[in-house]
Amino acid sequence: MLLCCTCLCAKDQLILGVNPYKTTPEIQAIHAELIAYLEKALDKEIVLVVSKDYNQLITLIEQGNVDIASISPKLFAMLRQKEIKADYLATIQFADTQMPKRSTYRSLILTQNESTIKELADLKGKSFGFTDIDSTSGYLYPRFTMRQNGIDPSKELGKIYMLKKHPKIIDALLEKSIDAGAVYDGIYRALPKETQNKIRILSTSEEIPYDAMIASEHLDPTLRAHIKTLLLAFHTSSSNTQSGIAGFEEKPLFLYDRLLHLE
């Protein structure tokens, strides 16, 4: 993957980096319409690169190996704190059959429907599935929620599993290989009703801004401004809103920066 990044540096190509929050084929499908739109508007090939983990995307940005990136809220806040030079372009919007187009989401803590875990206090001593330590909804918020409810997640949980991708948390819950786990709400809402009925929501976080689209400082400023204009003008033409990005909007950057204070 890194070799791919270092080789694809021709002027007629732009490299788009993305967090590995789902499988690579799923991420490709989510970004397919946007990539086609940008390729046509910019007359450049957009090469999608899925980082091996969340933190690697920061490294790729820092080293100039990606031109633009869709970066998780917590990572974007970290990037700003580290003063890594990158321009904020816009915040992603998603939509589905149950919710209108929106640029925020929530973190959920889930358990099996028939579990003896009835409230957050019951998580003490129970096995728990997080995604990645740099995931906002799969790690940062659930740990913050636990601390707010008198649980020290570092000391009072049972065995902890780092499962990387949100769908793997759902799979582990259904297989009963973990007692509880954390995901972003879109994963839960996309489940068939029959599967949702097997899972119970223990907690729902406040609203979190969706991933930020950023541009590397090595891109020409005129091109960065043009890409931002294109993103803000993008609206999906697909009737299946669950399959991709619905649009973009600008958000105040303090909504991202405040995530650092949840640690």
pLDDT single digits (tens) 191-230: 999 999 999 999 999 999 999 999 999 999 999 999 999 9
Mean pLDDT of 63-83: 92
Domain-ending residue, one of 204, 222, 252: 204
DSSP state of 102: B
Assess if residue 39 is contained within a domain.
yes
Q: Check whether residue 164 and residue 215 sit in a common domain.
A: no
Burial of 142 (0-12, 13-18, 19+ CB in 10 A): buried
pTM higher than the cut 0.85: no
Domain-ending residue, one of 161, 187, 204: 204
Domain-ending residue, one of 171, 188, 204: 204
DSSP state of 235: B
SS3 content of the chain, % helix, strand, coil (to 5): 40, 25, 35
Share of the chain above pLDDT 90, in %: 75
pLDDT single digits (tens) 78-109: 999 988 889 999 999 998 766 678 899 999 99
CATH number of the domain at 180, please: 3.40.190.10
The alpha carbon of 187 is separated from its chain's Cα centroid by a whole number of angstroms, namely 11
Q: How many domains does the chain have?
A: 2
Identify whether the C-beta of residue 161 lies closer than 8 Å to the C-beta of residue 130. yes
Assess if residue 254 is contained within a domain.
yes
Q: Check whether residue 88 and residue 177 sit in a common domain.
A: no
Assess if residue 102 is contained within a domain.
no
| Domain span including residue 250 | 2-97+210-262
Q: Check whether residue 88 and residue 111 sit in a common domain.
A: no
Assess if residue 22 is contained within a domain.
yes
Q: Check whether residue 77 and residue 20 sit in a common domain.
A: yes
Q: Check whether residue 187 and residue 224 sit in a common domain.
A: no
Q: Check whether residue 214 and residue 89 sit in a common domain.
A: yes
Q: Check whether residue 88 and residue 214 sit in a common domain.
A: yes
Cα separation, 193 vs 195, in Å, equals 5
pLDDT single digits (tens) 17-49: 999 988 999 999 999 999 999 999 999 999 999
Within 130-244, where are the H helices?
141-148, 166-175, 185-189, 193-196, 221-233
